[in-house]
Chain A
Amino acid sequence: MTEGYRESVPVLIFPRQTFVSLLVFALAWETLSHLAPYLGIPPFAIPSFVRIAKSVATITPIDIVVTLARVIAALIVSFLLGVAMAMAMYRSDSLDKYLHPMIRLLMAVPVVSWILFAVLWFPGVEFRICFVLVVVCGPVFLIDTLDAMHGVPRDLRHMMQSFRPTTWQYFFKLMLPAILPTIFTSWKVNISLAIRVVTIAELVGAVTGIGHQLSVAQELFSVADVFAWTLVLVALLFLLEAVVARVEARVLRWRV
Chain B
Amino acid sequence: MNSPPPIEVRGLRKIFRQTTTGQAVVAIDRLDLDISPREVVAIVGQTGCGKSTFFDLMIGLEAPTEGSLRIGDKSPHFDFDDFRGRIATVFQQDRLLPWRSALDNARLPLELIGLPESEQRERALTWLERLGLGNFTNAYPHELSGGMRQRVAIARAFAVGPDILLADEAFGHLDEVTAAELRETFLELARECGSTAILITHQLEEAIGVGDRIVVFGKSAKLLADIHVNQWTKNNHPLLREAIQSTLQNNQADPRLSNIQ
Q: Which residues of A come within 8 Å of B, CB atoms?
A: 1-4, 155-156, 158-159, 161-166, 169, 173-174, 177-178, 180, 252, 254, 256
Taken residue by residue from 85 to 108, chain B's Cβ proximity to chain A (1 for < 8 Å, 0 otherwise) reads as 101110101010111110000001
Contact B112–A3 (Cβ < 8 Å): no
Contact A1–B143 (Cβ < 8 Å): yes
Contact B91–A2 (Cβ < 8 Å): no
Please report the C-alpha to C-alpha distance between residue A57 and residue B201 in the assembled complex, in whole angstroms. 75
Q: Is the CB of B59 closer than 8 A to any CB of chain A?
A: yes
Residue of A nearest to B84 (CB): A164
Q: Is the CB of B80 closer than 8 A to any CB of chain A?
A: yes
Report B-chain residues with C-beta under 8 Å of the C-beta of A2. 135
Q: Is the CB of B139 closer than 8 A to any CB of chain A?
A: yes
Q: Is the CB of B109 closer than 8 A to any CB of chain A?
A: yes
Taken residue by residue from 118 to 133, chain B's Cβ proximity to chain A (1 for < 8 Å, 0 otherwise) reads as 0000000000000000
Contact residues on B (Cβ < 8 Å of other chain), bracket: 20 to 34
Report B-chain residues with C-beta under 8 Å of the C-beta of A159. 89, 91, 95
Q: Please name 18 pairs of A and B residues whose Cβ atoms are closer than 8 Å in the assembled complex, sorted by A.
A: A1-B136, A1-B139, A1-B143, A4-B138, A156-B97, A158-B95, A159-B91, A163-B88, A163-B112, A164-B81, A166-B112, A169-B112, A173-B108, A173-B112, A174-B97, A177-B100, A252-B99, A254-B101
Beyond A158-B95, A165-B112, 20 additional contacts (C-beta under 8 Å) are: A1-B135, A1-B136, A3-B136, A3-B137, A155-B91, A156-B95, A156-B97, A159-B89, A159-B91, A162-B59, A163-B84, A163-B88, A163-B89, A163-B160, A164-B80, A169-B112, A173-B112, A177-B100, A180-B99, A254-B100
Contact A173–B95 (Cβ < 8 Å): no
Report B-chain residues with C-beta under 8 Å of the C-beta of A3. 135-138
Report A-chain residues with C-beta under 8 Å of the C-beta of B138. 3-4
Q: Is the CB of B111 closer than 8 A to any CB of chain A?
A: yes
Contact A155–B93 (Cβ < 8 Å): yes
Contact A162–B140 (Cβ < 8 Å): no
Enumerate B141-173 residues with CB–CB distance to A below 8 Å: 142-143, 160
Please report the C-alpha to C-alpha distance between residue A92 and residue B108 in the assembled complex, in whole angstroms. 27
Report A-chain residues with C-beta under 8 Å of the C-beta of B87. 162
Contact B97–A158 (Cβ < 8 Å): no
Report A-chain residues with C-beta under 8 Å of the C-beta of B239. none
Contact A177–B135 (Cβ < 8 Å): no
Q: Which of B80, B99, B112 contacts A254 (CB 8 A)?
A: B99
Please report the C-alpha to C-alpha distance between residue A164 and residue B79 in the assembled complex, in whole angstroms. 11
Please report the C-alpha to C-alpha distance between residue A194 and residue B108 in the assembled complex, in whole angstroms. 38
Please report the C-alpha to C-alpha distance between residue A121 and residue B100 in the assembled complex, in whole angstroms. 48
Residue of A nearest to B135 (CB): A2
Report B-chain residues with C-beta under 8 Å of the C-beta of A163. 84, 88-89, 108-109, 112, 160
Report B-chain residues with C-beta under 8 Å of the C-beta of A180. 99
Please report the C-alpha to C-alpha distance between residue A162 and residue B112 in the assembled complex, in whole angstroms. 11
Please report the C-alpha to C-alpha distance between residue A130 and residue B80 in the assembled complex, in whole angstroms. 45
Contact B61–A162 (Cβ < 8 Å): yes
Contact A162–B89 (Cβ < 8 Å): yes
Please report the C-alpha to C-alpha distance between residue A1 and residue B142 in the assembled complex, in whole angstroms. 13
Please report the C-alpha to C-alpha distance between residue A162 and residue B162 in the assembled complex, in whole angstroms. 12
CB distance from A74 to the nearest CB of B (A): 29
Please report the C-alpha to C-alpha distance between residue A2 and residue B142 in the assembled complex, in whole angstroms. 15
Please report the C-alpha to C-alpha distance between residue A76 and residue B184 in the assembled complex, in whole angstroms. 53
Contact B61–A161 (Cβ < 8 Å): yes
Report B-chain residues with C-beta under 8 Å of the C-beta of A173. 97, 108, 111-112
Please report the C-alpha to C-alpha distance between residue A173 and residue B109 in the assembled complex, in whole angstroms. 11
Report B-chain residues with C-beta under 8 Å of the C-beta of A155. 91, 93, 95
Please report the C-alpha to C-alpha distance between residue A162 and residue B108 in the assembled complex, in whole angstroms. 12
Report A-chain residues with C-beta under 8 Å of the C-beta of B111. 169, 173
CB distance from B159 to the nearest CB of A (A): 11
CB distance from B230 to the nearest CB of A (A): 33
Contact B112–A158 (Cβ < 8 Å): no
Report B-chain residues with C-beta under 8 Å of the C-beta of A165. 112
CB distance from B210 to the nearest CB of A (A): 21
